[in-house]
């Protein structure tokens, strides 16, 4: 996990995550947990016959959750809270077996008056193994300033 704090981030910085393959188990667990019963997520035969996707796809919010885990690896324990996650755009369906990677671009940052925290604004883009952008969104995260080693 990263030891970056807000002080280590600058507008224009781009960070890339590890790869993560979306498994059948991920989709089954997520749809059960969320109570999702749409046939496009849980019924292969229905999805083949009645959609343009040619089979089941991954729920968009599962893709967003996987992206959140990748962001945690990049930004680490200096992240205090997500303040705003907006402008979700799901551009290409994610399928079981796709391998995803996230890319975070720092768009801005501002210090808060206490001098210990600040807000990082960024854009997150998620790509599959074919380098197709499957998802993107904007974020504002409250983050700690200073040395992160002192926090863990």
Per-residue pLDDT of 25-41, as tens digits, reads 999 999 999 999 999 99
> CB-based burial of residue 7 (10 Å sphere; 0-12 exposed, 13-18 middle, 19+ buried)?
middle
Matching CATH number, 6-21+65-151, of 1.10.580.10, 3.40.190.10, 3.40.50.10440, 3.10.129.10: 3.10.129.10
Per-residue confidence band for 102, with pLDDT thresholds at 50, 70 and 90: very high
87: left (phi over 0), alpha (psi -120 to 50) or beta: left
Report residue 45 as tokens: 């035969």
- State mean pLDDT over 6-22: 96
pLDDT of residue 150: 59
Question: pTM for the complete prediction?
Answer: 0.91
């Amino acid at each position: 996990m990263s030891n970056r704090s807000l002080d280590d981030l600058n507008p224009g910085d781009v960070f890339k995550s590890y790869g993560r393959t979306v498994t059948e188990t991920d989709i089954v667990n997520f749809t059960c947990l969320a109570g999702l019963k749409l046939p496009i997520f849980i019924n292969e035969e229905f999805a083949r016959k009645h959609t343009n996707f040619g089979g089941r796809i991954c729920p968009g919010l599962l893709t967003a959750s996987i992206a959140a885990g990748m962001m945690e690896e990049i930004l680490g324990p200096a992240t205090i809270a997500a303040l705003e996650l907006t402008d979700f755009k799901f551009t290409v369906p994610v399928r079981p077996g796709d391998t995803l990677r996230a890319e975070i671009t720092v768009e801005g940052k501002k210090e808060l008056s206490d001098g210990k925290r600040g807000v990082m604004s960024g854009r997150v883009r998620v790509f599959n193994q074919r380098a197709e952008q499957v998802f993107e969104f904007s974020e504002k995260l409250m983050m700690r300033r200073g040395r992160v080693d002192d926090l863990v």
